[in-house]
Structure 1
């Protein structure tokens, strides 16, 4: 009886699955995300740890069998600075953060981003650890002096529950890990001016590493001391595993706060002259990688348009149905994040736009244009990542049948959607079971799903729409300024 816990940016979820991979108990609770001036986005480690305790205690109380292990996954990137006891030395800085926008732009102009990409296959963006740590080294050096480890959300929680300082290779993949050797590239660290802070980086855990609850963690969760705990991979690769991505060329679309597009590959040969964006994520299987393009567009854009137009999220379906493909000529670029875009290109100055509007257009056209533009962004990401096999999808966005149909039509391929939405926790549990020597039937776990077919005439229409999107994007990139 393994409890899977997915520590998202705004929501923490705990799930227990039966032997066929069907959820039999789950609990959720929100996390606090503080949006501050200057594009700063922070979270409180104590509050996040508290959400884990809340959902684990709740879901454990709903099952009759004793809990045998805890499998953790959660948000990646950002910086979670801690001392030797696992206490935060400052609020955690989220992957959504934009305080390092100007620094990232300078690195792009100076060739630092390109140099790091050539060594690790990872494109840097304002919310990645390199940019944030370099910013802090310039503006809050005393904070880094107090810290013992600069890690991520999942390993921060692991330290509080087990006392261990660790990091999963998936989290460490961006931006300093060479995915081929699964070791840090020291020259990449030096390129970012962080040699003096090298000691803050925990060495990546080996595959199938198992930790154990210490007395403090056991008391916090209401579980036995010594209970096995696994840590990672973080939510992007965990979702790929949980959804059923198995063969090279297969991909997964996560329509969440961000639009994460990933493709499984058995080669980490990256084009050193290509766009320095996206990342190669190491997976639990040595020799397999996920080419990830986690765009900054996603359901946060839908929340924004709902607030702007004074509508509720459930109204989106009806609005999409009342505007035809092409949104009656309204077009959009979806780059609403204050920290710009990070995949399939990196530009901290990227901003959204709507065009083609007239007095004849209404809310439905604006909503549909935005949803179509996010689907075009997904196609752009998958083109860059090399999608060639089956496509899976998960995240809050695919709960909308109308929006999922737009994704299928724009991508021109069927989309397989697992019936259970907790694919991140599911992936973490599958990894934990393998580490504990109790593997489940992964094919059985992936069998409970439905497929959304694309509409051929819509797919043909969106071919030209995608060309228009690309042209609009190319024109806009020449105008963006920080």
Structure 2
């Protein structure tokens, strides 16, 4: 009866699984995401904690027995500043935020991002902790002065429930952690001019750390004081664990708000002179890492095109089916985020475009061009991350049969999709079970899945399409301006 809680950017979900890894009870509720002028994106910690309380209480009320543990995962990056009691000292700044766009561009020009990447294997983008903290250090220093910890969503909720200040090693990975030592690289912090704020970074918790509900957390959730709680890994590595990624070279595609492409590796070496982008994420297994390329493109772009064309998300599949591969000549670059792109390259000025449009272009072609461009972005990310084994997929986007076939065709490989969509919560539960010594059969948990095969007859067309995508991207990168 371990309750897995996935605290996403826009939705919080609680799930309980049976011994076969099938969900037997679940609940979800939306979180509020506030968008402001200038690309600012913020969330209210109290409201996010309230979503956790809602879903945990709802699930616990439906279980035939007592809850034995709570396993937390959720969104990463951004900055969730708190005081010693866990109260927010300002609204949380989301990973989607773009207020540090100009700062990031300056760091790129001055070689700061290159230096940090050389030391940690992780790139930086406007919504990462380093850029946000530096921005606040200049514009809101009094906020940092009041804070005791500059952490992330999962550890902010953990502090409310247990009173403990800690951070999972996966969250701490970007951008200052040395993945080999699992300790902060002090020179990387100094390179960003943040040495005087070093005390705000909580030390990473040891692997298999277990915390306990305190009186405040127990009262919030209606659960016993002392109930075991685990916190992490955050949603990207949790999804990899939950989907069944276990062999070096295997990867997972998360088609959600962000398009996260990850590949499991035991190799800690990386091309220090390569493009300073992506993340080198530590996992609960100290001998394994995830090379992550979490692009800013994803289902948010689909929501945008639906709003623009006045259609419902349910209409996407019929529209995709009514346009052919190549979208009758319509092409797109999918960079719709106000904070640009963060993988497999970083450019805060990255912007979307459509091309090849004529009077004969219809709504279906525009939708297909955008969906194909996101699939091309996934291929670009996986090439950078080193995918060589099986590919798994999860996220809201995989619920579209037509779109997941486009991904398979563009990538030229079959895609394994777990039957239960709550893979982030599942990964958190598996991590908690390992930490608590609770036995489980990993093979049985991974067995419930289906395979989407690629269509060989479409591969040649998409090879040409991907070449066109790369050419358009190269040309556009020389024109983007903040």
TM-score, L = length of structure 2: 1.00
Give the corresponding residue for 1:294: 294
Distance 1:84 1:55 in 2: 26
Give the corresponding residue for 1:376: 376
Deviation at 1:270, TM superposition (A): 1.2
- Are 1:253 and 2:253 matched, yes or no? yes
User: Is this contact kept in 2: 1:261–1:378, CA < 8 A?
Assistant: yes
- Are 1:188 and 2:197 matched, yes or no? no
Q: Describe the SS at the equivalent of 1:444.
A: helix
Give the corresponding residue for 1:456: 456
Q: Describe the SS at the equivalent of 2:337.
A: coil
Per-residue Cα deviation, 1:4-59 (whole angstroms, up to 9, x for no partner): 00000000000000000000000000000000111000000000000000000000
Distance 1:324 1:463 in 2: 15
**1:62-461 matches, cutoff 5 A:** 62-461=62-461
Give the corresponding residue for 1:475: 475
Distance 1:462 1:181 in 2: 42
Deviation at 1:443, TM superposition (A): 1.1
User: Is this contact kept in 2: 1:320–1:402, CA < 8 A?
Assistant: yes
Per-residue Cα deviation, 1:378-412 (whole angstroms, up to 9, x for no partner): 00000000000000000000000000000000000
Distance 1:109 1:169 in 2: 29
Deviation at 1:439, TM superposition (A): 3.0
User: Is this contact kept in 2: 1:430–1:439, CA < 8 A?
Assistant: no
Deviation at 1:268, TM superposition (A): 1.4
Deviation at 1:287, TM superposition (A): 1.6
Distance 1:89 1:103 in 2: 23
Give the corresponding residue for 2:465: 465
Distance 1:326 1:357 in 2: 12
Distance 1:226 1:136 in 2: 36
Q: Describe the SS at the equivalent of 2:98.
A: coil
Per-residue Cα deviation, 1:162-189 (whole angstroms, up to 9, x for no partner): 0000000000000000111100000000
Distance 1:441 1:78 in 2: 35
Per-residue Cα deviation, 1:354-388 (whole angstroms, up to 9, x for no partner): 00001111100000000000000000000000000
User: Is this contact kept in 2: 1:97–1:127, CA < 8 A?
Assistant: yes
Per-residue Cα deviation, 1:281-321 (whole angstroms, up to 9, x for no partner): 00000021000000000000000000000000000000000
User: Is this contact kept in 2: 1:170–1:281, CA < 8 A?
Assistant: yes
Q: Unaligned stretches of 5+ in structure 1?
A: none
Q: Which stretches of structure 1, 4 residues or more, deviate above 4 A after TM superposition?
A: none
Q: Describe the SS at the equivalent of 1:291.
A: strand
RMSD over equivalenced CA pairs, Å: 0.4
